[in-house]
Structures are given as C-alpha cells and as structure tokens.
Copies of this chain bind each other. A is one copy, B any other.
Amino acid sequence: MATHPAARGLNDDAAVLDLGDETLILTHDALVEGLHFLPGQDPADVAWKLVATSLSDLAAKGAEPLGVLLGYQLGGDDARFVAGLDDVLSHYGVPLLGGDTVGNVADKAGSQVLGLTAIGRATHRPVPSRGGAQVGDALWLTGALGQAMLGLEALRSDQGDSLAYRRPMALLAEGWTIAPMATAMMDVSDGLLLDAARMAAASGVTIALDRSAVPIAAPEARRDEALRWGDDYQLLFTLPASTPSPVPASRIGQVIAAGSAPLLLDGVPPAGPLGFEHG
C-alpha cells in the first residue's frame, strides 16, 4: 500500500495544512493490541501512550495541541482506559474533541484496535520538518536513550521502574523552543539510528553520528541496543554549527554531504537493523 499514490503520507511525517492565518498540524496513529501494546497491559497506560505519542508528533513540529479525536474499540477494561485518558488529557491540558466508540463482532473478537487523531497549530513558521537538515549543521538530541527499553523490561519482569515505557512524555515546550531555530526536527520513536537515517534521507544528506556522544540511560554494555530502541520520544534536531541548543540537549553528530550511506556511526555505516520498523 505504501507505494500507491493514494497512500502516500501514511506513516510519515505529520501533515501540515495552511488555513487562513494559521497552520494546522495533523497526525493520526492506530494501535493494535499485541503489536503496539501488550495484551493485558493496564489500559490506563495504553491511553496515556496513545495520546502522548501523538502529542510528541506535534512537539516535533513545534505545534501547540488544540485537541484529539479518539477511535475506541470496546473490549478491555474501559473504565481504566478512560481514567488514563483523563490523566493524559489533564496533564497536557488538551481537550477530547470527539471520536467514535465501536464494539466487536461477538464471535470474531480479535485484538483491540485504537485510533487517535491529534490536531495542533504551528507556533512557528516555517514548520520544522525532518527534511531540512543542511550540510554543516550539528545534530542534537534531548535527553537520554534506552529508558523505554529498560522500562519495558521492568514491566515484563515486574521488577524495577517501568514508567518511561508506560507513560512517555511529549516534549511540547522543548519543541516550541527549538522550532524557530531548527533546520530539521523529528521525534525518536523507532530508534535513533533508524530515525536519524530517515532524517538524512528526507534531507538528501548524510548524518554522521558520534556514538559515544549519545547519552544513554542503560548500562554502557547495552549502548548499541539503546541506539536502536524506540519509544523514548526524545527530540532529534539540527542547528547551524555555531548555534547553541536553546534547551538542554547533547550534540551527537553532524550533517555532511550525501555519501554512499545516509548514516555513519563513528565514520562507518552501522551494522544490522537500525531500529524498529512498525508493522
């Protein structure tokens, strides 16, 4: 489907739509139980993640959320889902504008499917995209990677702190602050290496990462895993080389002329899978 003209834009960057004096940012995500969240996971956490990850897409555009619309398939602990939905909408001060609740076919109930549309307004134009990185720019990353990786392990083993996996944060204020300066920006949802390669491809450049400069929250022995793990929702952005980051962030690489590979890690293309490709 992804190659068909009508399907272009699916699973890509959030949509940008000029309307009157405003620019809208729109994103839609679907989650399938067993693919995108664990069967048996607390529905309150699923609701949080559904909303927060969409708000993270808005953050990467420097957008202020205006509201969300929910497509909810009944089938789990619906009261817990609503409790988590309340938590996340209250936390970010975002209204539930509408949506649809649907049931299941009695004899053919499968995995629960959830959909969320988030709509926001640009706080700065032009709106940052993943395609604007310029040769000579520096590459920056907010926060540390590997927190969600450790969080998922904690959740699965029922030992330790799983919060980073269960309730990721959308870095809205950081996005608004970075947007006026960034040449390119995106959130790291599928792993740093994969998402950096996507930024490079969209920008028509090569990105050269400095492996040891990337802050990780995991033990050093797991650095290569942490660089490939998603779900941390940190912001990845490029700035002109002489521009300091306006938010706490680490300089983790630079943008160079397009070479034979979109991504270099300490000077060579990284081996193996770059990250998590969503099904």
Chain A residues numbered 59-90 whose CB sits less than 8 Å from any CB in chain B = 66-67, 69-74, 78-79, 81-82, 85-86, 89
- Are A15's CB and B97's CB within 8 A? yes
Q: Smallest CB–CB gap between A249 and chain B, Å? A: 27
Stretch at the interface among A32-40, A192-200, A222-230, A268-276: A32-40
Is A103 on the interface with B (CB-CB < 8 A)? yes
B86 touches A1 (CB 8 A): no
- Give the distance in Å from the alpha carbon of A2 to the alpha carbon of B82 in the complex: 10
> Is A267 on the interface with B (CB-CB < 8 A)?
no
Which residues of chain B are within 8 angstroms of A113 by Cβ–Cβ distance? Answer: 71, 73, 102, 113, 115
CB pair A17–B70 under 8 Å, yes or no, is no
Cβ contact within 8 Å between A82 and B4: yes
Does A108 touch B at the CB level, under 8 Å? Answer: yes
**Which residues of B lie under 8 Å from residue A69 when comparing CB positions?**
15, 26-28, 117
Chain B neighbourhood of A30, CB < 8 A: 71-73, 100-102, 115
Q: Which of B10, B20, B79 contacts A21 (CB 8 A)?
A: B20
What's the nearest-Cβ distance from chain B to residue A212, in Å? 35
Residue of B nearest to A75 (CB): B110
CB pair A6–B111 under 8 Å, yes or no, is no
Q: Mark interface residues in A84-127 (1 if CB within 8 Å of B CB, else 0).
A: 01100100000011111111110011110101010101000000
Expressed in whole angstroms, the Cα–Cα distance for A219 and B213 within the complex equals 76
Complex copy number for this chain: 2
Residues of B within 8 A of A103 (CB): 32, 35, 279
Residue A14 at the chain B interface, CB threshold 8 Å: yes
Residue A266 at the chain B interface, CB threshold 8 Å: no
A78 pairs with B1, CB closer than 8 A: yes
Q: How many residues of A contact B (CB 8 A)?
A: 67
Q: Tell me, yes or no, whether A41 is within 8 Å of chain B by CB.
A: no
A158 CB contacts on chain B under 8 angstroms: none
Give 22 A-B contacts (CB < 8 Å), ordered by A residue.
Answer: A1-B74, A1-B79, A2-B101, A5-B86, A9-B96, A10-B100, A11-B99, A17-B66, A19-B22, A20-B21, A26-B69, A27-B98, A28-B99, A28-B117, A30-B71, A30-B100, A31-B102, A33-B105, A34-B105, A35-B105, A102-B279, A115-B115
CB within 8 Å of B: which residues of A? 1-2, 4-15, 17, 19-22, 24, 26-36, 66-67, 69-74, 78-79, 81-82, 85-86, 89, 96-105, 108-111, 113, 115, 117, 119, 121, 278-279
